[in-house]
Chains A and B, each alone.
Chain A
């Protein structure tokens, strides 16, 4: 099939404002949008710039706004979105070049929620035991790949980049609801900040955007509830 990709471009070395460029390619219906971008780069325009790595939705490199929705370019097939495709960088993070954004502000929010296991008890000789039910409690949020699709689809984040954002809350949830972890109070204190969990207005964009199908809004709701009752 013939596909037209309209791509938002910006090279700060040569332009001060973004512009649109259209490319037409021959593609298989089962090709990914990422395949299309690679084809353009290889055959038509070597300057087109984007990140990619695993190409099957587990590394999180190629988050983009595709036909107005945050998606991983490697998880969207042309057969599912048709032959006129618009591709823009994700919103709310500074553009470095074309589809590449500066991930640092996002990573800073991630680091702020203590996204690591805290347990100061003496280390046992074997594994810590955990029931299957306790393990299931935080399973959904272990799937996060830090692609930023959720955070950069969130109007609250667009309005205020200081808001920690859904991805960071998902990361906090993964530990708060892990029966082995002891850092809940610290994390809930951090997230009760004005730029914390209460900036979420339950818009559900994050849930729709997540390529890992994490129920992001639900996880945020559980964190809010834990904060109200200080009980998980």
Chain B
């Protein structure tokens, strides 16, 4: 066992973790633990843009952005947090540019902006140019830029260290136990502040845009320490994943004019969202695709539809819709535009499905994409230990794993990249401030390490018969079947029961690799345990919520019910897998809930 001491320890090297590291690192001794090399983090997979009301191309305001975000959330977001995020968005995007981020440019040399789902001019109700972008690799550019800055400022990195436990004394966090992947050694990180910035858990479902490595480890660990997870029933299914594969095809395709076409050759979104059509929020578009498929309108009778960005089709609909640029000219695209502005997705389509998007439509279906729920925090990333908003001292969370809540029941596109930089920055500053003048609270490092070693050795030496990959696949198919875009009581209840069975079988798991070095067999088994716990609280939270809101669409409770359900869920889980649900009110500043139409 090795012991390290840093004022601040951040778990996760994606956008939120790196931004927090930059800010905390300016003032106090800071280290980042990441199970991947930071540049492998899934921030790099984000494509279309980061939302900020710069107004570089047309009139816009942060208040409009805030309203759109609240409406997109189906009024479940905490409005004070949303206002903070949208107000700081403008400044944080300029800060990224000052760090060297290579945004695309307008003809005047300003940061380029494009249209995205749910982002509107609040007066005309039409889509607004708000998503600041670098082609369709905006997340890649953000991740690279932040990592570059961390190199510049000598941030301490522990790459390929898997966080396996938190050192908690009551509700206070005093450090992290990590497993060095290359050598298999246990490391104890003694800290005054620990931030979890570990991303999401899309692999709970079988069709996902998420990396294999997004297994929600930190969220599952907090759950095991008796801390709650908030709004877990709200998981976003992005409407346009590449059929069968789930690989993300950015909403920017629709922002730049792409249309959704069913198997009958009809553009169907006007039926579901007459004003903004394809640029409705993601929950609305995903449901529309499901309903089309259910009505037998999938392409060739299958479970996908077409996303068409071929210039003749797009230009035809621009004309039909009389869609104009801010200068009043009729919009128009050509093949070169698609190739340069949507370069990566052009490559994905060609590589994986043999489709050239400039001449053929792209086969798409909804794909598990983003956790709106997660570890509850205040707007300075301090983790809440209960529904009464008591703070877990020393523990912070930011990015997708956190639930501030700025996304409520459904996140708008471009707001995840915004979330990670705004709250990463706030978290870094807050931690630096909170640890100043504070001593390291005592820990029993031997005991903390021993507990992990015991668990891991038991797992490594398990003589079980159950296969990790088989249990994982069963969980994924089950969740896709029963707790997906649509859900209803009997299905969710069956999922809960079967998840408990899978958890029982998981105790009898088989590990073939008994070695110390780079043992991914062992780590994947441990990570599966995390996914199972997150799946269970997701299903239990979904079963209880008897309404439809945002991404949680109950077939047996089709309407939103503000009377009874305008509240956040907080799920607690005990060692016997009993899930207890508590609730807390939503913060409303000025936007009163009203019917949501696009």
Binding site for B on A (CB under 8 A): 11-14, 30, 38, 41-43, 45-47, 49-50, 52-61, 75, 77, 96-98, 100, 102-103, 107, 111, 114-117, 119, 123-132, 135, 138-139, 142-146, 174-175, 178, 180-181, 213
Contact = CB atoms under 8 A, between A and B. Distances in A.
A130 to B, nearest CB: 5
A127 B94 contact: yes
Contacts of B104: 132, 135
B513 A53 contact: no
B597 interface: no
B211 interface: yes
Kindly name the residue among A42, A138, A213 whose own CB sees the greatest number of chain B CB atoms within 10 A.
Answer: A42
B44 A59 contact: yes
Interface residues of B, number: 61
Contacts of B353: 30
Contacts of B348: 56-57
Given A54-B40, A57-B347, A124-B98, 9 more contacts: A49-B520, A53-B212, A55-B247, A58-B45, A61-B36, A75-B351, A103-B37, A114-B152, A132-B107
Contacts of A124: 98
A12 B140 CA distance: 35
B192 interface: no
B105 interface: yes
Given A49-B520, A142-B134, A54 B102 contact: no
A161 B89 CA distance: 44
Contacts of A143: 137, 140
Contacts of B519: 49
B107 A146 contact: no
B474 to A, nearest CB: 12
Nearest to B149: A116
Given A42-B467, A46-B512, A116 B100 contact: yes
B344 interface: yes
A46 B521 contact: yes
Given A54-B42, A59-B44, A96-B182, A11 B103 contact: no
Given A46-B511, A129-B109, A145-B140, A111 B151 contact: yes
Contact of A117 (B140, B148, B182): B148
A59 B515 contact: no
A12 B184 CA distance: 13
Interface in B340-372: 344, 347-348, 351-353
B202 to A, nearest CB: 11
A58 B468 contact: no
A17 to B, nearest CB: 16
B44 A96 contact: no
A47 B145 contact: no
A128 B97 contact: yes
Given A42-B469, A56-B247, A11 B515 contact: yes
Contacts of B469: 38, 41-43
B36 A13 contact: no
A103 B182 CA distance: 11
Contact of B151 (A98, A116, A135, A178): A116
A82 to B, nearest CB: 17
B108 interface: yes
Nearest to B98: A123
A125 B521 CA distance: 50
A77 to B, nearest CB: 7
A58 B517 CA distance: 26
B109 A132 contact: yes
Contacts of B102: 135, 138-139, 142, 174, 178
B105 A30 contact: no
A137 to B, nearest CB: 10
A105 to B, nearest CB: 13
B11 interface: no
A127 to B, nearest CB: 4
Contacts of A59: 36, 39-42, 44-45, 211
Contacts of B518: 49, 96-98, 100
